[in-house]
Amino acid sequence: MGKKVRVLIIDDSASVRQTLTRIFESDPDIEVIGAASDPFMAARKLQEDVPDVITLDVEMPRMDGITFLRKLMAQHPIPVVMCSSLTEKGSETLLQALEAGAVDVILKPKIGAADHLAETGMRICEVVKSAAHARLPATRRRFSGSASASGPAQKLTADAVLPPPTGKAMAKTTEMVVCIGASTGGTEALRDLLERLPANAPGIVVVQHMPEKFTAAFARRLDSLCEVAVKEAVDGDPVLRGHVLIAPGDKHMLLERQGARYHVSVRTGPLVSRHRPSVDVLFRSAARSAGSNAMGVIMTGMGDDGARGMEEMHQVGAFNIAQDEASSIVFGMPKEAIARGGVDRVVPLDQIAREILAADARR
């Protein structure tokens, strides 16, 4: 048994603190060491005991969460997961939190919805355990245990959404589709990558693990920063050169082909590799629909979502790259994809855009 991930909960709602405590206590790899109703109370607790991870509310009395986050990152960096209500305004604020140093984002659990709470609780626990392994700018992670990113719930594969590829490699066409998967640390890594691409870059589809509604704000932010056009995907959207489609939170996104044209299918379905959207689902759909016309990119993130799908892409002739350990906030997903043999090249974050453009030029 490895060391438990020790968590401090900061939220002004007593019911939310209680619900999060119950969720964390249901996971044998997590221990709640305390809860605070505002940042001032939290600061006093931090003087007594330093947790591995903090869950932090955005809007609180006396000091808002982002101000506290900035002070914490400047003085004593600890992995922080922001906890927010499901609102468009909240989503925009959470983008500021990620820029300020937050590792990831969770939605506040819906109190009283037992069926929803089980799935939400699993997602929350996965995010917190991933955060415990995050590399922060000014420090290495303090958590040194081996708490698993898995839990007791059944872990479904992409078989739950679509069948495996046939194994027949598709002939190359003139257009390449880039399929990208990322999780913990991926929001800022994706910004770095997409900002380096020109307006005529090949069409790109992205699965980034994040809550619903948050993906729309994330896409708008990237669109304002990048030469490529970025939007949250809608069912039936075409995959076009110079455009990036972000899978909507809580929906799977699949790549499909009609003739020489590609589009995306956005659909509901069970959690795959404990995620929705799932990188494995996107990558498998690329193996089925694009074959050697696809390029796979797997980036920072905890767990193994995308590793199987990338292997399937590799088997049908796709060219795949993985972000290297040194530039990853969490090296879990790239490491698993490399171990399965589906990766052709491992490169730092700042070289991924160059690899995409080079692969496009070779066609």
- Residues with catalytic function: 183, 209, 305
8 A C-beta contact, residue 245 and residue 264: yes
> Which residues is 321 bridged to in the sheet?
297, 345
CA distances from 328 to 204, 211, 337, 346 (A): 21, 21, 14, 12
d(CA 127, CA 53): 10
- 140 to 98, 132, 145: CA distances (angstroms): 18, 10, 13
Query: Dihedral of CA 155/161/166/168: which sign?
Result: negative
Strands 261-267 and 252-258: antiparallel
